[in-house]
Structure 1
Amino acid sequence: MPSVSTEASTTVGAESTTSSRSNATDSRVTPGGPGYRRMSLALFLAGVATFALLYSTQALLPLISDGFGSTASAASWTVSAATGALALFVLPMSALSERFGRRTLMTASLAVAVTVGLLVPFAPSLGALVVLRAVQGAALAGVPASATAYLAEEVRPEALITAIGLFVAGNSVGGMSGRVVTGWVAQEWGWRVALGVLGLIAVGCAAAFRLLLPAPKHFAAGSLRPAVLGRTVRAHLADPLLRRLYAVGALFMTVFGAVYTVIGYRLTDAPFSLPQGVIGSVFLVYLVGTVSASTAGKLVGRLGRRGALYLAGGTTTAGLLVSLSGSLVLVLVGLVLITAGFFAGHAVASSAVSHTAKRGRAQASALYQSAYYVGSSAGSTLGAVAFHAGGWSATVSLGMLAVAGVVGITVVGSRAARRGPVTVR
């Protein structure tokens, strides 16, 4: 009889041989492999266009309020309507992507969204602007509904977190560039011209995306039957781990939506009284999100997913507390920490959804995106209401409650993992 060490060695060798054969026959791409750079750049640009358009009015809210003679909470609906519509339509869009393909749906979604983006600057009233933004958000739902599912099918599992992190990094660059561009353009020519310029940039990103994204090799068309979709959705919602990940995404985005919807009003008011162009430049801190999202894979490798979520929540909390300072420098430091924590937490949670769902990945990702943008819509509206009622400290209190929810959910997940099989490290 072989010794225990010999058996272990034999087993490890067999597993290594099996893994090598599997990798040799796996035609999905890996970093450095054929098509990976084109794929990453294409989805990066899709993320840029999506977030630039989705939050195009956020940095301009004080100007929109002045232009239409509205309150901060009323103007915030130009953000909430877009994110709310995206949350509502992301699941139906995911079903369409199962039937017609990820690349096809993303292309169509971006085409409609950029077309509406060219109409937005001509909105005659705040109500019309809100309606156009809702249509734009509904159209954009096809991108997040399809992107992570596309990556899960076309990229090897060991490289999935990194690939999704790059897509999320594109989101951060889009959010940052859209706000910076609109801020400086609006300072010189007004918010309508700023939105028009951003629409043209999004057109360029959408065209480049379509030219660069490789045709899918591992997509298998699914069914559009409502009964099949319903069973898939119910199965995902019955999974406790997926439910926790959906809640984590929603709560992180509640913090982020509240902070970045209100920050323009805070920096416009005394004691800061900053001009619109400088306020737009504040969003350069999104570059921190680009870094934290793209390195999420390394973070998970060192701390595990729950450890990474704890770190992300702690970083966000520290940023909220620091932002209470009356010093502009410390406010910016707070925004850096909030941004880093949010994007790290989002990348970890969204990649965990793709890892956990073995079937119906598009629906699993769509449910996460739906929860995520419900959080964004709620954060934008509640953040503005809190700011109107109690100033920045009230907005920070709202964010602290949301982060406490993230930590509580993660603690519950840790206890559940100890009681049963560990699904996600």
Structure 2
Amino acid sequence: MSLNRRTFLGTAAAVTATLTTPMIARAQARPRVVVVGGGAGGATAAKYIARDSQGAIDVTLIEPTRAYYTCFFSNLYLGGFYEFDDLGHTYGNLASNYGINVVHDWATAVDRDTKTVRLAGGDAVPYDRLVLSPGIDFIEDSVPGWSLASQSVMPHAYKGGTQTQLLRAQVEAMPEGGTFAMVAPPNPYRCPPGPYERISMVAHMLKAINPTAKILIADPKESYSKQALFEDGWQRHYSGMITRIGPDFGGDNVEVDPAAMTLTIDGVVENVDVCNVIPAQRAGHIAHQAGIVEDNWAPVSAYDMSSRIDPEIHVLGDSAAQGAMPKSGFSANSQAKVAANAIVAALTDGRAFPPRFANTCWSLIDTDDGVKVGATYEASDEGIVSTSSFISEVGESAEVRAETYRESLGWYDAIVEDMFA
């Protein structure tokens, strides 16, 4: 199905109409929902809970930044297709249109016994239900030689914001014929096609400003999302520029030296000019602090995204171990609506409807050469499971690829409107 802003919002409205339940007035004070994290999961959940409860639930959204810069589509900024300001969005409409109490502070602790969230500023915010959507954090020492202290020299640029600006500036400042290197992450990680779309966008930029430059990828994985599509596109658009070293040739045995600006692959030292290190990932810190994480991620019920350790906490998006859905902005947005419906029903004696999930991940390889992969999902006792899927094909026409790219632009406009408008 072709997806644009109108169809995305129309689908969202239809799902919401199905999930919205009539309000039953309560004599006691309004129940309180606290949402931590203002991205695709958290902002969506806060908006839908406030809107669909028609004011019967007190909603507080805790997000440290006043402007949210999307990680999704940040690669298009690296490629020169988007301006940085195009990626930034604010929270004013959530406060003015839906009565959400937006608190710009860091959530530092969750006390599950007293059901409060502690803020860096010293306040404690009580909740009846808690939604955690904190995104990702990085696993220390997963790339020997790299730490967060190195991110100003070897940026990860895998959280939206200034890291992306830094990486683009480094690419633009590369010497003629220089080398851009990426250390790709192991599974599981945020946005499975993301590193390889990034390679495409960096190659697009270098082809225009530094055509003799080279790109080197050290990758610990045997394979990756949309691999055939990316490799075909790289051969067509950037022949001879990109080299990927997988685990068979040492891509899983790397270390970096930020001071010397070197990347060592299986004992072989490479001098590089830019090194984008994307470390192994885990659930955001607040989920760990809350004690609801197992094996780096927070296990949840597929039926309502509630924690399997504490059912009064719901975990969305990248931090959740939920089954078959990839860690993407579209997934987080979809999961947020399911959680919101369940929370509104539980706190207002309403009716919860069967959960439905969907995801599509678009990637741009070169100008008007867009590809996509996606699926629909349903809940099971084991987790979220796929019910149907699709993927672009190698050899598609230029018209199909251009339409896929236009689809992605429509989706971006639609999802940020769904989150913030």
TM range (shorter): under 0.3
Q: By percentage of residues, which structure has more strand?
A: 2
Q: By percentage of residues, which structure has more helix?
A: 1
User: If the length of structure 1 is used for normalisation, what is the TM-score?
Assistant: 0.24
User: If the length of structure 2 is used for normalisation, what is the TM-score?
Assistant: 0.24
